[in-house]
Structure 1
Amino acid sequence: MSTVTFDFTGERVLVTGAAGLIGRALVHRFADAGAEVLAVDVDADGLKVFDAVARVATLPGDLAREDVADAVFARLARDGGLDVLVNNAAMTELRTPFIDIEADVWDAVVAANLRSAYLLSVRAVRHWRDAGRGGAIVSMSSPGGSRAHDDQSAYDVTKAGIEALSRAIAVELGGLGIRANCIAPASVVGEVRPATDIPAGRTTAPEEVADAALYLASPAAAQLNGHVLRVDGGLHARLRTDPSQEQQRDV
């Protein structure tokens, strides 16, 4: 599989949900491209995978909490600021019919997936505005942002919200050089394997999602703003899929 090359030398990147499958790929891809990366996740033990990785610092915390978001940006300010924010943190494991979801569960999914992205995005754009400079936000959406999964209503609502948030930032702050785009990956697994319900015939590697993030964060995507990039092997283009084919999703 070919590797896309971008140069982020001297740039500072914040990656949330860093301990997960896509998060790890994001951290490694940006660090390999020369960036200084702050990797954040609620899973403190999961962040230990970066202990020996050059140009990567870690910070555990629940990003749906304002005090944690403040602590993240205090750390960034101390270390030199921020160039790229990657909103990847999400609660993905819940599978519950809409009719059975209790309000506390709904609120937990919205907090983890959407509130966290808001708290970090609004701090990022204020930081860039006050510094008189632009910046890039890349947020993870999903096919569920525009089409419904079975038994994942809360998740899908948050992903639609992520896309709406990115459009709002693009429209309101694009004139300041601030860009906000989304990636909507599908069937992301650690080991790529055949998938009959994907037009491309296979699942998606986390590194392919990370490469798309590097592109959207780079000057090569300077005129992309409020956009959703579908890294899904053509899944979204297909009218119907075979419901007998179980898909494993990390997003």
Structure 2
Amino acid sequence: MPRLPALLPPDPEASFPPAETALREPDGLLAVGGDLNPARLLNAYRAGAFPWYAPGQPILWWSPDPRTVFRTDGIRLGSKFRRGLRRSRWVVCADTRFDEVIAACADIPRAGQPGTWITPEMRQAYRTMHRLGHAHSIEVFDGDRLVGGLYGMALGRMFYGESMFSAESGGSKVALAALARALHAWGWPLIDAQVENPHLLALGAERWPRDAFLAANRALVAQPEPPGSWRERFGERAAADLASPPTAG
């Protein structure tokens, strides 16, 4: 008889089942049910799990093996793309338009996907996490126009990327590269990208065995980093600066 995923209890403070108990088929399905209460979301990320489900489904929680991870000093931008960045007038900010970024991630058409997994319930949950200082957005602007961005969760010194979008070619790449450069300077070594796809792998994402990811995750979430807005900490960064390698140190 096939093994079933764990059913989460009603208490949002309850611990998650060990990620090692996730199913192999479908890969990484760990638990079903619960809610998107802030306490439960934080417990999920601490346990190496994340919510991902389609409209009409119960909430599904995942911890895939392998896990897709970026090293913050390992983002790859092609030489042609870097040459174009040298002439770019785009600027990159953080936590200035969270609601617009998550809406764009939900609404932008994606090849091979008839709809979005970022349901209204998910949008509201991450808006709440943003107000609590745990969820952050990176915005790429051409003047006042939002041309790309991403959002995700921060816990300790671990960043969990949730989704990104481009309204202009390269917008999401700039958002990711600028985030990675900032995190690397802050001493945050990893960005969780959850599940692989060819685009992420081309940008330098690595496939990590789940055990290796969980060990790194446990260490990084234990690092003391208080929640709060990144608007001032991140500042305003010129996309053109991403054309050059980061300064050592």
Q: Note whether the superposition's TM-score is higher than 0.5.
A: no
Higher percent of residues as helix: 1
For normalisation by structure 2, the TM-score amounts to: 0.27
Higher percent of residues as strand: 2
Instruction: Work out which structure has the larger RCO, using CA pairs closer than 8 Å and 6 or more positions apart in sequence.
Output: 2
For normalisation by structure 1, the TM-score amounts to: 0.27
